[in-house]
Amino acid sequence: MCVTRPTRSTLTKRLNRGEVSAESAIILPVILGIIWLVVQAAVVIHAGNAAYYVASQAALAAARHGSTTASADTALAGAAESVGAQLARAPRFEWTTEQVTVHVEVVVPRAAPFFGSTVIRAVTAPRERFIEYAER
């Protein structure tokens, strides 16, 4: 009968077998948490870009010569629908003789509880002036 003795490499393989599962149990939640935070940060950045786009479209519509609040609201609603933005509250328009400022607050879809729930953007656009041909 031939008896073989375990070599050093087979003994170390047996001893290290549980080490891999312990490392995986520690590392996997950390990696998934980092991925989760990156996805939530990307969602916040997208919501900020959407809020800026909606506010800029409303400001450009409101700055046109002869425009009304209704035309600016229509442009804002169309821009919000096109990017899938949900407004948290009604937009605020500030009209002066020289410029128009639009403040928009957009809801951020949340996956992480410690990120903000809304994003606020404000855009200012100069108002168009009508100049008669003789005055040019």
Mean pLDDT, contiguous 10-residue spans, the chain (136 residues): 66 62 83 91 92 94 87 91 91 91 92 83 91 80
Note the pLDDT of residue 26: 85
Residue 8, domain member (yes or no): no
Asked if 85 contacts 64 with a C-beta cutoff of 8 angstroms, the reply is no
d(CA 55, CA 106): 10
Note the pLDDT of residue 105: 95
Residue 81, domain member (yes or no): yes
Residue 55, domain member (yes or no): yes
Note the pLDDT of residue 31: 93
d(CA 105, CA 111): 19
Residue 3, domain member (yes or no): no
Residue 1, domain member (yes or no): no
Note the pLDDT of residue 116: 80
Q: Whole domain around residue 23: which residue ranges?
A: 13-135
Residue 62, domain member (yes or no): yes
| Number of domains composing the chain | 1
Residue 27, domain member (yes or no): yes
pTM (two decimals):
0.76
